[in-house]
Structures are given as C-alpha cells and as structure tokens.
Amino acid sequence: MSFDRPIRLGMVGGGNDAFIGGVHRIAARIDGRFTLVAGALSSTPEKAQASGAALGLDPARTYDDFKAMAIREARLKDGIEAVAIVTPNHVHYAAAREFLKRGIHVICDKPLTSTMADARKLVKAAEDSDALFVLTHNYTGYPMMRQARQMVADGDLGTLRVVQVEYAQDWLTQAQENKQAAWRTDPARSGLGGSTGDIGTHAFNLASFVTGLDVDSLSADLQSFVSGRQLDDNAHVMMRFAGGARGMLWCSQVAPGNENGLRLRVYGDKGGIEWAQENPNQLWYTPYGEPKRLITRGGAGAGTAAGRVTRIPAGHPEGYLEGFATIYSEAADAITAKREGREVAPDVLYPTIQDGLKGMQFVDACVRSSKRDGAWVKLAP
C-alpha cells in the first residue's frame, strides 16, 4: 500500500470558532494521510479569509463559497482530491453535490442531510459519481467496536435477540444561546430531528454496524422538554430488527450528569457484550453461564479487526480523536486504491452514503411514529 504522498484535502465549513472543524483537521493529520490545502471555511468572506489565514492556507485557495472552490480546485493540476464537509446539516447536500460531480471524494459529517428529499438526491449524486462518499460516524472507528462486530460475525453471541443502545448528554438541559445550540435546535438548519438527528443517528448507526442488522420498524416517543424548543431533545425508541431481534434506543440531551454517554449492549442465545464510549478501550463479554470477561484494546483476546486499527500498546488510552482518525485513514486507504487503480481491500470499513440514508430514514420514522402517538412505522425506502 502506497503512503508516499498525502491526499490533498479541502474543507467546507469548520472555521475558527467551529468545534467539529478542528476535530476533523486533527483526525486527518493523526496518521499523516492528508494535508489540508484549500477551504471555504465560513459562510461570510471575511470569516473565511480570516480562518484560512489562521490555518496557514494560501489566500488564493481560501474561497468565499464552496461552489467556487469546487470549480477551481477541479481544474488545478494539484487540486484537492478529497473534501471534508463540516457545515450545519442543511448545507451538506448542496456542497457534496458540487464536489461529487467533479470527481472529488467527499468526507461528510453526519447526519447525511437535513431532509429526506435531499438525502435521496445525494444518494443519486454519489451513485452517478466516480468519487467515494464517506460519512464520519466516528464511533465505528473505535477498536473495541471493530472487536464487537467481529465477535458477532464469528457467532460468539449466537443468534442475536436483544440490542440496547443509548446516547445521553446534558448540555441542552436548559435553553442555550451559543452557536452550537442555535443551529442544532433550528429545524431550518438541523432538519426534522433534534437529539434524534444529532446523537440518535450515532447510536442507531453503531447498533447496526456492530450487529449487522437492519431495523424493519420502530415505535418512537419524542419530547421537546425545554419550553419553546422546536426539535426533540429526548427520544425513546423501540425497534424491531429484520430477522426477529428486538431493540431499544434512548437518546437525550437533557439528562443531567451525562456528558457523552454512548453505550451499547448486545445479547444473543450464547452470550452478550457491553461497551461504553467514555471507557472505550474496554469491552465486556459474557458467554452464557460463564464469568464475565474483560477484553481490552491491544490486550489478550482482542482480534485482528481491532488490531488493524490499534495504534499504541494496551494501557495507553485511545479515544474520540483516534476513532475519528480511523475513519479518515480508512477513507485514505480507499482513495489511495482508487488513485492506483486497485480494488479497495475488503477489511477497509467506513460509513457510506447508504449508512447515511439509513440514518435519515431512522429520524424520519421517529418523527412520523411520534406524531402518531408512538405507532409502529416502517422505515421509508
């Protein structure tokens, strides 16, 4: 595999005061696979230029808008090969489309878009393009989630019966006026889902990634507990998986005492696993009728799937940034294979455009079900 030249990366959004932009830039640098060379970093020209200067970008490659960036970069001999889109949700479709149609690979923050209509159009744009589309559900990059997925696939848990996943935060317990809260609670920018779109899609995606199961139907009870809030800040969702397994998903941003409490529990007729994101280097495994076993990242019992995305020896914690970096490095492997005319190796895993569509179908179904007093609904195609 060739690592002789880093992939030239551009960024849309992610200016000076944007949290997630900084995370993406760090993740792209960790394994040395990308170099940031261009950006349309803000919705205003002044902020875009200031952010570009702060990052040391060439002023000629610091753009006022993403369309101008896509057009010019596609024409440059040393133009960007991939673009990271880290804007609010309502910009994802329009920005990604401009780069996809010019053959530039897209690495997009989740959820896929703000509306189902845009999601379907973006799927079509990705299918019509020769470029790759990568969605940054970063928790799928954690070694212990790769371990869990391998154990399920190997039959260690037997036939799956119960899937429980939750993502609890407390930062929106009361009305907030900061920039992050403003757009994440605004239907025009966030979409139909509040907590369901922001963190519920992470939980939903992780459950599917580990188990390999698709949700057939769900029953959802969504709440907006904070007065005047237009989008849900708490959701309880019951799920029926294809094949017979049953699941529950809770996502909340009004749960005091919870910071980033993403947890996953999966149980089959032969055993169960438990994992918590705030202690991500540990996976508990219990074969039925036997003592509980602790599997650690890089430690005894960890398999090849976890090992290929493990960077440092056991006992040195890896976490959020490294998980994010794994998605970028998996994307780099796929982009490098495309660059060299090779097939992408089968063990290269990253969330795709179809995973993004499933996340949007989840949010759409939650909203439809809750409006019908928790009626069971199918996920829309």
Q: Is the pLDDT of residue 1 over 50?
A: no
- CA–CA distance, 334 with 251 (Å, rounded to integer): 32
Indicate if the alpha-carbon torsion angle 103, 104, 105, 110 is positive or negative: negative
Contact 56, 76 (CB under 8 A): no
**Token pair of 60 as six digits:** 């000629």
pLDDT band at 4 (very low <50, low <70, confident <90, very high): low
Cα dist from 277 to 48, 260, 271, 272, 324, whole Å: 34, 7, 21, 17, 13
Q: pLDDT tens across 132-146, in order?
A: 999 999 999 999 999
Q: Is the pLDDT of residue 12 over 80?
A: yes
- CA–CA distance, 381 with 123 (Å, rounded to integer): 12
Specify the pTM: 0.96
Considering the chain, what percentage of its residues have pLDDT values greater than 90?
Answer: 95
Q: pLDDT tens across 320-370, in order?
A: 999 999 999 999 999 999 999 999 999 999 999 999 999 999 999 999 999
Q: Is the pLDDT of residue 18 over 90?
A: no
Over residues 168-190, mean pLDDT? 94
**Token pair of 206 as six digits:** 């992780």
pLDDT computed for residue 211 by the predictor: 98
Average pLDDT, the chain: 96
The secondary structure of residue 139, as a DSSP letter, is G
Considering the chain, what percentage of its residues have pLDDT values greater than 70?
Answer: 99
Is the pLDDT higher at 381 or at 257? 257
3-state SS class at 358 = helix
Q: Judging by DSSP bridges, how do beta strands 261-268 and 160-168 pair with one another?
A: antiparallel
Q: pLDDT tens across 278-299, in order?
A: 999 999 999 999 999 999 999 9
Over residues 166-172, mean pLDDT? 98
**DSSP structure string for 309-320:** T--S-TTS---H
pLDDT band at 186 (very low <50, low <70, confident <90, very high): very high
Over residues 261-286, mean pLDDT? 98
**Token pair of 379 as six digits:** 């996920």
Over residues 255-271, mean pLDDT? 98
Over residues 68-86, mean pLDDT? 98
Query: CA nearest 61: which of 109, 17, 102, 9?
Result: 9
**Token pair of 189 as six digits:** 């920018």
Q: pLDDT tens across 203-232, in order?
A: 999 999 999 999 999 999 999 999 999 999
